[in-house]
Amino acid sequence: MLHASTIFASAFLLFLVQPIVSKHILPWFGGSASVWATCLVFFQTLLLLGYAYADQVSRRLVPPRQVGLHGTLLAISLLALPVLAGSSWKPTGNEDPGLHILLMLSATVGLPYLMLSTTGPLIQSWAAQAGEGARVYRLYSLSNLASLLALLSYPFLIEPWSSLQVQSSVWSVIYTGFALLCIASGIALVRGRLQPVPAAAASTDPAIKPSLRLMALWVALSTMGSWLLLAVTNHITQNIAAMPFLWILPLTLYLLSFVLCFESDRWYRRSAWVPLLFASFAACGYGLIDFHIGMDLKVAIPLYCAGLFIGCMVLHGELAGLRPAPQHLTRFYLALSLGGALGGAVVGLLAPRVLPSFYELGIGFVLIALLVAILVRERPLLSVAALLMAVFLAITLANQVRNELGSARLLERNFYGRLLVRDVNVDGTVVRRLLHGAILHGEEFLSGPHQNRPTTYYGATSGVGRVLTANAGSPRRVGVIGLGTGTLAAYGQPGDLFRFYDIDPAVIAVAQREFGYLRNSRAHVEIVLGDARLNLEKEAPNRFDLLVVDAFSGDSIPVHLMTREALAVYRAHLSDQGVIAFHVSNRFLSLAPVVAKLAEDQGMQAMLVADDLPAEPAARSDWVLVTASRASLMRPELVDALQQPPAIQGLHVWTDDANNLFKVVK
């Protein structure tokens, strides 16, 4: 029970600190989903270092020295509490965001996380020395169960009811208790107070040292599990639907496969799971080239999540079957963590820099099929079937690449996601479109009556269009958070200033090079690179007549742009009659009540403009207009379109420290 309690506490804290720390720094990097991926790479890498520490300590030091060293490091790690980064770590906008996140996490949460990551293998090693034998591998299943519980508890039980500061403080208190529990486990081992139990039979002869080939197989299986997790998560959250909390589902399935495979051998049977893998991967691979399957929300999400779970059951089931005797368990866990870090680094860090789109999923399917062919080589028919599956998946991957590159004018990818520029024919007119993931971020007619006219969510009858039309005729100062194609610059008149803020340098380059809104605008246009809120905090008051908040990545929401603190920053940059226009169109979240609550909190007026039937080529849109001067909304172009935003009972004002997406899910 002492061993189990310590491991459960360490795994629970290990997973709980990840969303706390990640959410704290998320606003500093534009709310990008890539922040989560980078944090995951950091935590996987630190897990690798922790497992390497456990492997070396258990092999090179006698138990008393192991306990002494570990206890000393645990005590030192308490000095790092609490683990939230200070404001001095906020980015300036010129640094590489991925590297900056890695450095910041290393300096803040690094040591406590490292100590947590060492606990699982080290305590299991101590348990093996106390006579637990092969039963220690059930403790690994327990640790994954604790991680799963932490994962599910945070968004539904912890985040909605406590601020980040409270979460960090409570986590720090529990971590202190964990450190004491861990030291108690070590002392009990040294004093021999743990009662040994008969050693269970191991799956490998203890006298046989794991070969390099076997360790390479451990690493390969773990790598592909991590690769598949991140690749599927990227695909369903950025290509299919940027749905809140959707990232939880693949991670839950990934952890569940570990729990089942290491709890007992009865959950994995190769003869049943490998054919399922062939069927699911075939469907997933075909979905990458057939949009009717691969992009249909109701079909694609269950399909790719099923493929992930089946793939992880095969990979982790094979891992569990290859586990060594307890004498070598720390080397086994080191190989697993190395594979996890490699998979995370390839998908989270390398792929965005070398692949123009999300091709790592298709590549992962091919590699897993080849790995299965190696695993089942003693069964020729099954091995041939795996090779044929790899060929089929390679063909679907090639078709995916050919289809995307063939129809794209531009296709590139970076830390913030994938950008696709495509020319399409609409009633005989060429229309150029910009897509971020699967979401349209603007379009421009290259000829005809709609050329250089506002389109999509920015038409004349939209909320922002009505404000700009009402203010026409006199010089205006307009700030825009989120550049997109620069469509709003089409409203510019001589004497106007349009100042755009965008965190993604690739978006700025695309808007300037591929679209004409910026260069054809009659206004003076300025572009500021970096997170808009951080830049506004540094700037002198801009006296904007209109400030547009439209920084969305797909349907995901940069929450830090919709908080009490954010609204205070915006208000400091408004003129006396100025208006803030929040773009709140969203398939999954009711954001208008959030903005209305913010306005009420600061004594401002908020009205909704729902443009349900716009004239072509505009698209349906929802905007909430916020101002301290009600007269600014009482103009003829606006007044007939205004309506009260809906309310959500029990909704609290969002702040940087406390906000609850779950409350506003449609």
Helices (H), 573-658: 592-601, 636-639
Closest CA to 311 of 355, 264, 254: 254
d(CA 175, CA 122): 17
At residue 199, the pLDDT reads 37
Which of 107-111, 159-163, 435-439, 521-525 is least confident?
435-439
pLDDT reported for residue 244: 57
pLDDT tens readout for residues 204-241: 445 578 899 999 999 999 999 999 999 998 888 777 76
The confidence band for 345, taking pLDDT boundaries of 50, 70 and 90, is confident
**Residue found by looking up tokens 């039980």 in the block:** 157
Q: Provide the pLDDT for residue 202.
A: 39
Looking at residue 18, its pLDDT comes to 85
Higher pLDDT, 199 or 504: 504
pLDDT reported for residue 556: 58
Cα distance from N-terminal residue to C-terminal residue, the chain: 43
Distance CA 344, CA 231 (A): 9
Confidence of residue 242 (pLDDT cuts 50, 70, 90): low
Amino acid at 350: L
CA distances 539 to 89, 534, 560, 578, Å, are: 19, 9, 18, 17
Pairing of strands 605-611, 574-583: unpaired
The predicted structure's pLDDT at residue 130: 63
pLDDT tens digits for 528-570?
998 888 899 999 999 999 999 997 654 556 788 899 999 999 9
Q: How confident is the model at residue 479 (pLDDT cuts 50, 70, 90)?
A: very high
Between 546 and 193, residue with greater pLDDT: 546
For 432, the enclosing helix (H) or strand (E) is strand 429-436
Top-confidence residue, 300 or 659: 300
Closest CA to 433 of 460, 458, 456: 456
Q: What percent of the chain has pLDDT over 90?
A: 56
Residue 439's DSSP bridge partners are 436
Tokens of 484: 């997109």
Helix/strand/coil for 442:
strand
User: Concatenated DSSP letters for 194-249?
Assistant: SPP-PPBPPSS-TTSPPPHHHHHHHHHHHHHHHHHHHHHHHIIIIII---TTTTHH
Q: What are 138-152's pLDDT values in tens digits?
A: 888 888 899 999 988
Q: How far apart are CA 553 and CA 481, in angstroms?
A: 12
**Bigger pLDDT: 292 or 590?**
590
Structure confidence by residue, pLDDT tens digits, 294-315: 777 788 899 999 999 999 999 9
Task: Decide: helix, strand or coil at residue 562.
Answer: coil
Order of all β-strands in the sheet with 605-611 = 524-529, 497-502, 477-481, 544-549, 574-583, 621-627, 605-611
The confidence score (pLDDT) of residue 455 equals: 94
